[in-house]
A and B are shown apart, each in its own frame.
Chain A
Amino acid sequence: DIQMTQSPSSLSASVGDRVTITCRASQPVGIYLNWYQQKPGKAPMVLIYAASNLQSGVPSRFSGSGSGTDFTLTITSLQPEDFATYSCQQTYNTPYTFGQGTKLDIK
């Protein structure tokens, strides 16, 4: 199975900050890497698919990059509604493993 490791596991930031979350795969996954946002008590929601493609309706302050084993999710100018948990997922092959999640909270 492909292991997905995110860093950091938690992050404190302020409204207006720029934050970057990284995701590393235990073996190359090409660009089959997605990012999801999850708020407490809610289902996950896709933000970025295929490493760098912004899902329809997602604000442009979210962006993704990377290929192979190393990926990043960047949020520029944090908004209050962005404080949530972010998870990466590889869909290169099954099982479609997720990272452990990065909890972003308000400093």
Chain B
Amino acid sequence: DSGVTQTPKHLITATGQRVTLRCSPRSGDLSVYWYQQSLDQGLQFLIQYYNGEERAKGNILERFSAQQFPDLHSELNLSSLELGDSALYFCASSPGGQTDTQYFGPGTRLTVL
């Protein structure tokens, strides 16, 4: 158990809908990262937050957004969903520095029908 929690574990929705994925980091960690894992694209970095502020952006679509709240939990919002958005979404956390080890949560499996 990494100490990172994610909810929900599974999510099934329809095209065009909007969903919110939630992540709680390990106690004391200030950085939260979001990754997408799909069969054709592998594990891809989406976005990083540090202590409430966006720190880095990766291959995140404009339809996707995230935020980190004062209690350090984070939410990833996915809107106008398409079939191709079906994937595993992982959250990771670390104390904050770029060289810190990232610890991953169990993931949310999103299925878009």
A binds B: no
**A binding-site residues for B, Cβ under 8 Å:** none
